[in-house]
Amino acid sequence: MRSQINSLTATRFVAALMVFIHHFGTKVFPFNQFVYFFDSGNLAVSYFFVLSGFVLYISYDQSNISYADYFKRRVGRIVPVYLLALVLFIIVAFCFYDYKFSNNLVRQIIYCALFLQAYFPQYALSLNSPAWTISVEMLFYILFPLFLFIEKRNTKFFVTITILLFIVSQFIHLRYYQGGIKLSEKVEGYTFYHPFIHMSQFLLGMIGGYLYKKMKNSDRKYKLLPILLFCAIVLLIAFRPVYISYHVGLLAPLFMLFILSVAINDPKLLNIKGLVFLGEISYGIYILQFPVYKFFDAVNTKYTHMPAQYFFYFSLTMLLLCAAISYTFFEKPLRRKINSISFKRLAV
């Protein structure tokens, strides 16, 4: 059932690193020399959505397990570290940033703990702000068996629905963004964060998984294709017109093709053991970045006073260390325990 492709796992690290640079590194060298590009590092979120759909499809399309067993594995994969990051952020916020209990804070904690923040735009970035994407992913995980059922029954219908959802989401978002339409903060938030506006990206990943299953045994390989697609993505981001937003997955079809090309060609460069391990801990890198950075930032402000240049690389090193420790001693053991829970096998 587990269908890990190491080269794809390695790309997770690059995507997580881009998000970290987007949040904390655009003012330090060398990223400050390419601010426009690295400030768009949050586009890696779209890559994660597409990759998630791809990986789930190739992992489960021939699988015959109960919905309970499937969802148990999803919970074991994301929930423990998600809640750990939330608790750590709250501790850091109260100890170093003068957070006070209030009805609004309690509401934020409840929404975040229940993976609901992305449904309420005013709370989407509450507390551990990168976690809004996990709120989105949770809906995809819940609906994935239904998506897979539809795809198996009628692939053409599935592809059609995906294309329509993609067009609608882009129209809604770009109409607001490009047209300069002044919307209320609440409505604007829906066009950026609501799970349904990102759903087509996940579905495109599933289509990529379907194509991979059809093409993986083909003798025709295009070794340069991953490099060419990567360069195309970099150029499109680097020279993106300021009036066009990629935030809700405008590049998702290109991400899907890149993921598909990497999976088929499995480049040796992306199979380096250390890079694969960094990919395996990338979820921790992504979800722990705010509590780890905010903790060391508070310590640095009060005690060590490292210059921004040195502090960024120090905090990145500490984040990698924390993610590795979390993965080895918390995430993997707890995942194994959760996965070992036995459910009666029921037909989905």
pLDDT digits (tens, 9 = 90+) for 12-64: 999 999 999 999 999 999 999 999 999 999 999 999 999 999 999 999 988 78
Q: Which long-range contacts (CB under 8 A, 24 or more apart) does 152-155 make?
A: 152/61, 155/210
Q: Flag whether 285 is in a domain.
A: yes
pLDDT digits (tens, 9 = 90+) for 230-261: 999 999 999 988 878 898 999 999 999 999 99
CA angle 9, 224, 230 (to 5 degrees): 55
> 3-7, 177-181, 309-313, 321-325 — which is least confidently predicted?
177-181
Least Cα distance to 46 among 238, 283, 204, 282 occurs for 204
DSSP string, 102-166: -HHHHHHHHHHHTT-GGGSGGGTT-SSGGGHHHHHHHHHHHHHHHHHHHHHH-HHHHHHHHHHHH
- The pTM of this model reads 0.94
Residue 295 structural domain = 6-339
pLDDT band at 218 (very low <50, low <70, confident <90, very high): confident
pLDDT digits (tens, 9 = 90+) for 177-213: 655 555 555 666 778 899 999 999 999 999 999 999 9
pLDDT at 346: 39
Q: Flag whether 345 is in a domain.
A: no
Q: Across 165-179, 234-248, 265-279, which has the greatest mean pLDDT?
A: 265-279
Mean pLDDT of 265-293: 95
Q: Flag whether 1 is in a domain.
A: no
Q: 3-class DSSP state for residue 228? A: helix
DSSP string, 236-255: HHHT--TT---TTSTTHHHH
Q: Flag whether 19 is in a domain.
A: yes
Cα dihedral 164, 166, 169, 174, rounded to 10, equals -120
Mean pLDDT of 315-321: 98
pLDDT at 345: 47
Q: Flag whether 347 is in a domain.
A: no
Position 121, amino acid: P
Q: 3-class DSSP state for residue 68? A: helix
Question: First and final CA of the chain: distance in angstroms?
Answer: 16
Task: Please report how the helices 155-179 and 195-215 are oriented relative to each other, as an axis angle in degrees rounded to 10.
Answer: 140
> 33-37, 65-69, 314-318, 321-325 — which is least confidently predicted?
65-69
Cβ within 8 Å of residue 341, ≥6 positions away:
72
Cβ within 8 Å of residue 43, ≥6 positions away:
18, 237, 246, 247, 251
Q: Flag whether 346 is in a domain.
A: no
d(CA 68, CA 3): 20
pLDDT at 348: 40
Q: Flag whether 182 is in a domain.
A: yes
More confident residue, 223 or 270: 270
pLDDT at 164: 97
* Number of separate domains in the chain: 1
Q: With 50 as the cut, is the pLDDT of residue 347 above it? A: no
Length reported for the chain: 348
Q: Flag whether 29 is in a domain.
A: yes
Looking at residue 223, the DSSP 8-state letter turns out to be T
